[in-house]
Structure 1
């Protein structure tokens, strides 16, 4: 069996919304505001690697209540100040923290 290519675009926004327990409309709003990884094809499929960034964007917007301009600035800082390995390591760390929070109510997040 071949290993999964994390960079291959295979997931539509509807599947990502289900994974993140978010609404498709919310993810489309992020897309419209330019917060999601840019896709050139008309199918707009996302990779496993993209899901980590989308989850990070969703966390910043829904839990931390950061507006679109703030999120764009954070993404720009990640992309311009981190190499690919450090950015991947950072997103993996964020993913671990989000997994711990997945069973916690949003109102309880600030206490952690």
Structure 2
């Protein structure tokens, strides 16, 4: 039995948007602003299971914390330059745990808060 390859790019943004309960257009906007992982030599824009965690983090920063694209780029740069892969994954695990506690209704309430 083969193990699941979490690095294999198989998911389109539309599927990830459904997983994150958001619109595909929102994720495409992140992509256009250079906030999502890029793959070399790839004709279709597909993402891996590991990329989903990263994309969820970007979406959290943008939609819940209301950080603009430049702020998110700065945070991502700090993560990649100041943390090794092990610490970065541990950090994303912590964030993922917090994201699981936030329901979609909570995010909608934050978006509609005036």
Q: Same fold (TM over 0.5)?
A: yes
CA–CA distance in 2 between the matches of 1:66 and 1:103? 18
CA–CA distance in 2 between the matches of 1:2 and 1:81? 34
CA–CA distance in 1 between the matches of 2:94 and 2:3? 22
Partner of residue 94, structure 2: 93
3-state SS, counterpart of residue 105 of structure 1: helix
Partner of residue 70, structure 1: 71
Partner of residue 36, structure 2: 36
| Contact 2:36/2:55 (8 A) holds in 1 | yes
How many residues get paired? Answer: 108
Give structure 2 stretches of 5+ with no counterpart.
none
Give a deviation string over 1:16-42, Cα, whole Å, max 9, x none. 000001100000000000000012212
Q: Quote how far apart the aligned CAs of 1:102 are.
A: 2.2
Query: Following superposition, which runs of at least 4 residues in structure 1 exceed 6 angstroms of deviation?
Result: none
Partner of residue 14, structure 1: 14
Question: TM-score, normalised on structure 1?
Answer: 0.90
Give a deviation string over 1:24-62, Cα, whole Å, max 9, x none. 000000000000001221211101111101000000000
Q: Quote how far apart the aligned CAs of 1:103 are.
A: 5.3
Give structure 1 stretches of 5+ with no counterpart.
none
CA–CA distance in 2 between the matches of 1:8 and 1:34? 20
